[in-house]
Amino acid sequence: MVRVEHLNQTFLRTKKLPHIWCPGCGNGIVTAALVRAVERAGFAQRDVVIVSGIGCSSRAAGYLNFNTLHATHGRALAFATGLKLSQPQLKIFVIMGDGDCSAIGGNHFIHAARRNIDLNAVIINNYIYGMTGGQHSPLTPAGRKSTTAPAGTLERPFELLELARGAGATFGARGSAAQPRQLEQLIVQGARHKGFAVIEALSPCPTYYGRKNRQGGPVEMLRALKDSSVSVEGASGLDPAELSEKLVTGVIYVKDAPEYTEQYYRSTGKEPG
Amino acid sequence: MPVEMITGSQAAATAVQRAGVDLVVAYPITPQTAIVETLAEYWARGELGGEYVNAESEYASLAYCSGAASAGARTFTATSSHGLAYMHEMIHWCAGARHPIVLANVNRAMGAPWCLEPDQIDSLSQRDTGWIQLYCANAQEVFDTILQAFALAESVLLPCMVVFDGFYVSHTYEAVDIPPRDTVARFLGPSCFAAQVDPGRPANLHGLIGAEAQSRLVLSRHRAMERVWETLREINDRFAALFGRSYPAVEGVACEGAKTLLVTAGSCAETIKSVLPALDGTGLLRLKAVRPFPARELRTRVEASGAETVIVVDRNCSPGLGGILAQEVKAALYGAAAAPPVQNLILAGGVDLTPWMLKRILDGSLFTGGGGPDREVWGVDLA
């Protein structure tokens, strides 16, 4: 017996639905995981802010019934930094896509990580710029095709979580639309973590990435995501050759370090607000 | 010549391919993306001739072009709206460095909030940077103007922006004459402007200078703009001899003896042209070049027509002043003998110009509410 659990409707702008995402897109699954995570973490609706950039992922802000801010391309983290500094009590989730976060947004991404500011960056990685019709991003695997690389891209992708770790992020986790319960838990853990938390959420784009690269339909793409996933614990028993074929999911790293907003107010002796 | 049904975006990309470009740099943004996608397909089929790379941002796209142009390469990129705004520092830089880069800008409104409609504010916001700006009204003109832009830019050593309206031109399929590459080569040979980077003669480029030296350089760019008029005439003559089409800096239709002259840039002119035969006493002056601004030509044309009223159709607005082209037209007419009043239809936000709207403007029903001779009407008031 499958237990049907409805999303908290008060956290959704139901008048804005149905959403614009394509059939088979994973963005709705990731967004639903975020909604459940906010509820599970017990945050008050008025204390939650969603900041998004530009692209398919960033449309999520329009459907979520919190304070939401649809910012410029790649700059969501910079907007969120200003917001967090002025209102440190807010729980801020920054929803970005792979193109949004790691191309134009790359600079803001590493600096948010360097400061270890208490923001929750949820990057929906579908390996493609979807909104503009399927161009490869800095997270597209080398050799994969896109409309701006019809013969396959030559470029090497970022390893996003390692980039963040190298820049100073103190929480890094990876989940996927194929395992939404795990993803929900990871978002909760990231939200409870004090510091810059990066959650990479792999998500299928059957319309562009899947079609260009013959990945099959939504079901095949979700199944492939699930089949290639291995937990951090499971990965520890694999040799490097086996591991290179896998998507390691779970909390990849977590550590303590001073958080920027706290440091700022301590150094100035001022009270927020 | 082969005629194909293609979009304005495909026309732009095909012209770039026919032009024998050395480097195309791509970054996606709606409604421009189809230009760089079409060029990617040429490249993947081995038909581009030059190189094609993807950048990490629009800013980087233009910086890649700048670097390649320093080495004497013919370069192209395309963008729109926020992408062009993000390039702003590089837009100034490329003009100062005298790189003859050609950039296609597909007009789109600027946020906040997000809007995809074809407001011209993106390119008009860049009019003080030292780029030549040529506005196109249809897909054929996009194709032809890209070819002319390379010839013009490389002749006067200024970068050139080829501008056309999002969706109305970029996404609309039209019949376009596409000459083969060898015919195009008779108009536009390989790039032959001097490379600034020469390993045989190492130099430090673009280092720090003082006010007087900077002043001389700004003046030299201004003078290069003045040379555009003669160069553009020569280019049009050669182009017309080969292809039978030409695009003067100001296009006039039915101006002689017209009581009212409509002035605009871009695809609004196509709507006006389609309605003109039914409108007695109305003519059109279409601004092909916005930088340099054809002030002398415009003034001469208005004076020669004897028109009593000029109505500028602006799909843009400079808040606090009004439609941008209207301001430029007023400045051009200042001091003209019997300069007619200039009225302004402002379609900011990318509002469509409809024949119905034009008729109401021209029969005066929208201008009865008083005000001085220089009146403004906002497109949103017409609903």
Residue B372 has pLDDT above 80, yes or no: no
pLDDT score for A7? 85
Q: Which of B24, B56, B88 to probe by mutation at the A interface, max A CB count within 10 Å?
A: B56
Residues 6+ apart with CB under 8 A from A144: A127, A136, A152, A153, A209, A212, A213
Q: Mean pLDDT of all residues in chain B?
A: 95
Burial of A222: CB neighbours in 10 Å, binned 0-12, 13-18, 19+: buried
Query: Given CB atoms, is A106 within the 8 Å cutoff of chain B?
Result: yes
Which residues of chain A neighbour B29 with C-beta distances below 8 Å?
132
Q: Do A72 and B111 lie within an 8 Å CB cutoff?
A: yes
From CA A120, how far away is CA A169, in angstroms rounded?
A: 11
pLDDT score for B338? 82
Cβ atoms of residues B153 and B291 within 8 Å: no
How confident is the model over B56-73, as pLDDT tens digits? 999 999 999 999 999 999
pLDDT score for B112? 96
Q: Do A149 and B54 lie within an 8 Å CB cutoff?
A: yes
Superfamily of domain A2-258 in CATH is: Thiamin diphosphate (ThDP)-binding fold, Pyr/PP domains (3.40.50.970)
How many CB atoms lie under 10 A from the CB of residue B381? Answer: 10
Question: What phi and psi values does residue A89 have, to the nearest 5 degrees?
Answer: -75, -15
From CA B330, how far away is CA B15, in angstroms rounded?
A: 35
Query: Given CB atoms, is A70 within the 8 Å cutoff of chain B?
Result: yes
SS3 labels along chain B:
CCEEEEEHHHHHHHHHHHCCCCEEEECCCCCCHHHHHHHHHHHHCCCCCCEEEECCCHHHHHHHHHHHHHCCCCEEEEECHHHHHHCHHHHHHHHHCCCCCEEEEEECCCCCCCCCCCCCHHHHCCCCCCCEEEECCCHHHHHHHHHHHHHHHHHHCCCEEEEEECCCCCCCEEEEECCCHHHHHHHCCCCCCCCCCCCCCCCCCCCCCCHHHHHHHHHHHHHHHHHHHHHHHHHHHHHHHHHCCCCCCEEEECCCCCCEEEEECCCHHHHHHHHHHHCCCEEEEEECEEECCCHHHHHHHHHHHCCCEEEEEECCCECCCECHHHHHHHHHHCCCCCCCCEEEEECCCCCCCCHHHHHHHHCCCCCCCCCCCCCEEEHHHHC
- The shortest C-alpha distance from A216 to chain B (Å) reads 23
Regions of chain A with pLDDT less than 70? 1-5
- The shortest C-alpha distance from B11 to chain A (Å) reads 17
For chain A, give every domain's residue range.
2-258
Residue in chain A nearest B42 by alpha carbon:
A150
Residue B359 or B326, more confident: B326
B3-242 with B250-381: one CATH topology? yes
Taking residues B361-374, report their average pLDDT.
64
How confident is the model over B10-25, as pLDDT tens digits? 999 999 999 999 999 9
Taking residues B250-258, report their average pLDDT.
96
pLDDT score for B381? 78
From CA B74, how far away is CA B192, in angstroms rounded?
A: 9
Q: Do B28 and A138 lie within an 8 Å CB cutoff?
A: no
Q: Do B30 and A131 lie within an 8 Å CB cutoff?
A: yes
CB pairs under 8 A between A and B: 52
Task: Name the residue with tokens 């182009």.
Answer: B239
pLDDT > 90 fraction of chain B, expressed in percent and rounded: 90
Residue B118 has pLDDT above 70, yes or no: yes
pLDDT > 70 fraction of chain B, expressed in percent and rounded: 97
Taking residues B26-31, report their average pLDDT.
97
At B2, is the pLDDT very low, low, confident or very high (cuts 50, 70, 90)?
confident
pLDDT score for B383? 65
Which residues of chain A neighbour B82 with C-beta distances below 8 Å?
72-73
* CATH number for the domain formed by residue range(s) B3-242: 3.40.50.970
How confident is the model over A161-204, as pLDDT tens digits? 999 999 999 999 999 999 999 999 999 999 999 999 999 999 99
Which residues of chain A neighbour B109 with C-beta distances below 8 Å?
none
Q: Do B29 and A132 lie within an 8 Å CB cutoff?
A: yes
Taking residues B335-339, report their average pLDDT.
85
Residue in chain A nearest B39 by alpha carbon:
A148
At B1, is the pLDDT very low, low, confident or very high (cuts 50, 70, 90)?
low
Query: Which pTM value belongs to this model?
Result: 0.94
Which residues of chain A neighbour B56 with C-beta distances below 8 Å?
103-104, 106, 138
Q: Do B56 and A106 lie within an 8 Å CB cutoff?
A: yes
Taking residues B40-63, report their average pLDDT.
97
Query: Given CB atoms, is A254 within the 8 Å cutoff of chain B?
Result: no
The architecture (CATH level 2) of B250-381 comes to 3-Layer(aba) Sandwich (3.40)
- The shortest C-alpha distance from B20 to chain A (Å) reads 19
- The shortest C-alpha distance from B336 to chain A (Å) reads 45
From CA A11, how far away is CA A43, in angstroms rounded?
A: 11
| Three-state secondary-structure class, residue A3 | coil
Sign of CA dihedral A126, A127, A131, A134: negative
Residue B360 or A73, more confident: A73
At B368, is the pLDDT very low, low, confident or very high (cuts 50, 70, 90)?
very low
For chain B, give every domain's residue range.
3-242, 250-381
